C-alpha cells in the first residue's frame, strides 16, 4: 500500500492523544500494537478519509468514527486504510514445493478412498489473503497437482479483514509486473491477456477464480464464522503483527478448523516456538496438527 503525502497544513496533524486513542482501538479490534514511530504513517494514511468525508482535522475524524451514527460504517474504511498488504505470487516458494511433494501425497495416502478414481476433495484455507496473489498461487499449484491425479479436486476459502483487498482479489486482475514471479508455463495456462495490446493487465482464468470463496474475517473475533474444517491452512506473514498471547489465541482458533493431521503454514520469519498449541513442527514454518 502506498502512503499519501502529508498536507502542509498543520490542522491535519495527529496529536499524541489522538494517536493513543487510535492505537487503543487498533489493538482492541485488530490485535496490532503500534509504536510511537508509526504516528506519521497513520496520519498519512488517514488523509484520504478526511478528503472523502469533507473533514478538516483528525480530531473531527475521531469524533466521526467513534461517536457518530455512521461511525460503524466508517470503521470498515478506517481498517482498510491502516492495514498493510504486502504479498506476491509464489512468495516463499519452498512452501509450495513442500505442499505438492510431501503434504498432499501424505494427505492423499490417509484421506483418499481406496479406489484411485474415487473423487477426493481437498479443502484449503488461505487466512489473510490480501489482494489475492497467494490464493491464486495455490489454485495454480493445486491445479498442476490435479493434472496427474485423476479424481483429485479442491476448493479454497480466502479471508481478509480488508474489504478493499477482498474486492481486488475477487476481480483477479493484475499488472504484468505483479505476475512476473509466476513461471511462464503457468502464466500461459492460467492467465488471460487483454485483446487490447496496449493494456498491460492480465486476469486469472475463470476456472481458478470460481474455486476460491472470498470472505471478510477478523482474527480478533471470539470465534470464526467458518463452518468447514480444512486439510491445509496457509496463515503466512500475519503473526508478526501480534504479541505472543494473541498469537497463541489466534492460532488455537485456527486449529479448531484444521483436521487432525492437517498442515499449517506460517511465514518464514515467524515461529510458533514457546506457544502451547496442538501442532508438531515438520519443516521450517510448517506444522502439522496432532492426530
First to last CA, the chain: 40
Q: Is 13 a catalytic residue?
A: no
Distance CA 102, CA 11 (A): 57
Distance CA 83, CA 130 (A): 10
How many other CB atoms are there within 10 angstroms of residue 198's CB atom?
5
Distance CA 195, CA 202 (A): 10
Locate cell 451514527: which residue? 69
**Bridge partners of residue 126, in order along the sequence:** 158, 234
Q: Is 88 a catalytic residue?
A: no
Q: What are phi and psi of 164, to 5 degrees?
A: -65, -45
Of 39, 49, 80, 160, the active-site residue reads: 160
Distance CA 282, CA 100 (A): 14
Of 39, 45, 211, 288, the active-site residue reads: 45
Locate cell 518464514: which residue? 268
Q: Quote the crossing angle between the two packed helices 16-30 and 39-53, to the nearest 10°.
A: 90
- What is the set of active-site residues? 45, 160
Amino acid at each position: 500500500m502506498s502512503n499519501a503525502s502529508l498536507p502542509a497544513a498543520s490542522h491535519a496533524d495527529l496529536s499524541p492523544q489522538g494517536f493513543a486513542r487510535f492505537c487503543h482501538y487498533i489493538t482492541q479490534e485488530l490485535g496490532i500494537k503500534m509504536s510511537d514511530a508509526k504516528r506519521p504513517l497513520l496520519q498519512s494514511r488517514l488523509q484520504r478519509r478526511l478528503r472523502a468525508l469533507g473533514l478538516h482535522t483528525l480530531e473531527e475524524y475521531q469524533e466521526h468514527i467513534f461517536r457518530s451514527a455512521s461511525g460503524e460504517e466508517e470503521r470498515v474504511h478506517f481498517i482498510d486504510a491502516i492495514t498493510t498488504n504486502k504479498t506476491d505470487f509464489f512468495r516463499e516458494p519452498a512452501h509450495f514445493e513442500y505442499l505438492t511433494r510431501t503434504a498432499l501425497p501424505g494427505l492423499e495416502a490417509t484421506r483418499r478412498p481406496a479406489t484411485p478414481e474415487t473423487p477426493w476433495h481437498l479443502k484449503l484455507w488461505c487466512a489473510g489473503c490480501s489482494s489475492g496473489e497467494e490464493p491464486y498461487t495455490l489454485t495454480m499449484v493445486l491445479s498442476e497437482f490435479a493434472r496427474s491425479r485423476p479424481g483429485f479436486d479442491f476448493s479454497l476459502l480466502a479471508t481478509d479483514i480488508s474489504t478493499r483487498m477482498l474486492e481486488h482479489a475477487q476481480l483477479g486482475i493484475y499488472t504484468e509486473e505483479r505476475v512476473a514471479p509466476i513461471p511462464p508455463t503457468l502464466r500461459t495456462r492460467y492467465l488471460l491477456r487483454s485483446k487490447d495490446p496496449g493494456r498491460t493487465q492480465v486476469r486469472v482464468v475463470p476456472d481458478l477464480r470460481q474455486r476460491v470463496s472470498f470472505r471478510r474475517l477478523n482474527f480478533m473475533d471470539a470465534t470464526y464464522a467458518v463452518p468447514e474444517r480444512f486439510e491445509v491452512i496457509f496463515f503466512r506473514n500475519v503473526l508478526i503483527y501480534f504479541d505472543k498471547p494473541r498469537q497463541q489465541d489466534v492460532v488455537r482458533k485456527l486449529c479448531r478448523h484444521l483436521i487432525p493431521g492437517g498442515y499449517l503454514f506460517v511465514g518464514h520469519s515467524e515461529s510458533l516456538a514457546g506457544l502451547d498449541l496442538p501442532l508438531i513442527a515438520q519443516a521450517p514454518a510448517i506444522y502439522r496438527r496432532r492426530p
